[in-house]
Amino acid sequence: MNAILEISGLKKQFGGVTALSGVDLSIEEGEILGIVGPNGSGKTTLFNVITGVYRPTEGHVRWRGCDITSLAAHEVSGAGIGYTFQQAMAFPGLSVWENVQIACEHAHDTSRPYPWTTPASLLEFVGLTALANERAGVLPFGNLRLLGIALALATRPSLILLDEPAAGLNDKETATLVGLVKQFPAHGISVCVIDHDMKLMQMLCKRLVVLDFGSKIADGPTQDVLSNPKVLEVYLGGAL
């Protein structure tokens, strides 16, 4: 596999607080990579730097060999990187269909083959067809999470970043999410996912990266990382 995203020496400071401290990381074509770590370890900050929400204090982000460190968030999205946030987000006063339609209008690279080119196809894929005319603001939390997936896919990304996509979901909803995400690489979409649910991460990810206090402390095959003494220590000495 080839690296499509490469991060080198990434540092982010907020005043006197160092949220990221010299992080090096790569994401491979067709990979589902997991990033784990305690609260406050820098995971979401890393995603926000990659997507242009924050500018790094030091370091570089390269997308398919091009430096995108200084790009604005909409430019990063236009380059082919999608993002779902910790807090499920949509236009609450608009219908599910209207939300997806707006996202489709901002699609990246419409020339390449893609399985979900219309709101109807996206809603069918995530299982929300029956709710197309419902206002997004009244959706149950699990369905709002699925809408977030549809919105990210609508832009036709080549890489999608999922920030705690299973937070607040029950077991059935989590299983549905896993089934959806596992299909992404077959359609040319690499994935990087943050979550605290280790069962979920083991189902999805062959490789894990662990952050602690803004530094990368482990990177490798999932089972090797989860048996790493340093990783176990970070998680308060308990079994993952």
User: Does 100 fall in a domain?
Assistant: no
State residue 170's pLDDT score: 87
User: Does 49 fall in a domain?
Assistant: yes
User: Does 6 fall in a domain?
Assistant: yes
Q: Which secondary structure element, helix H or strand E, spans residue 171, and what is its range?
A: helix 171-181
Nearest-angstrom CA–CA distance, 207 and 117: 30
Encoded tokens for 35:
């990033």
User: Does 5 fall in a domain?
Assistant: yes
Encoded tokens for 94:
């608009």
Whichever domain contains 58, its CATH number is 3.40.50.300
User: Does 154 fall in a domain?
Assistant: no
User: Does 59 fall in a domain?
Assistant: yes
Strand, coil or helix: 158: coil
User: Does 174 fall in a domain?
Assistant: no
Domain count of the chain? 1
- Dmax over Cα atoms in the chain, in whole Å? 50
Which range marks the domain in which residue 50 is found? 1-71+189-240
Burial of 114 (0-12, 13-18, 19+ CB in 10 A): middle
State residue 235's pLDDT score: 72
State residue 197's pLDDT score: 86
Please measure the distance between the N-terminal and C-terminal CA atoms of the chain and give it in whole angstroms.
29
Helices (H), 21-118: 43-50, 73-79, 96-104
pTM of full prediction above 0.75: yes
Encoded tokens for 160:
């999608």
For residue 101, which of 137, 132, 140, 138 has the smallest C-alpha distance? 132
The list of the chain residues with pLDDT below 50 reads 236, 238-239
Strand, coil or helix: 38: coil
Overall size of the chain counted in residues = 240
User: Does 84 fall in a domain?
Assistant: no
Strand, coil or helix: 29: coil
Contact by Cβ (8 Å): 160, 83:
yes
For residue 167, which of 60, 43, 56 has the smallest C-alpha distance? 43
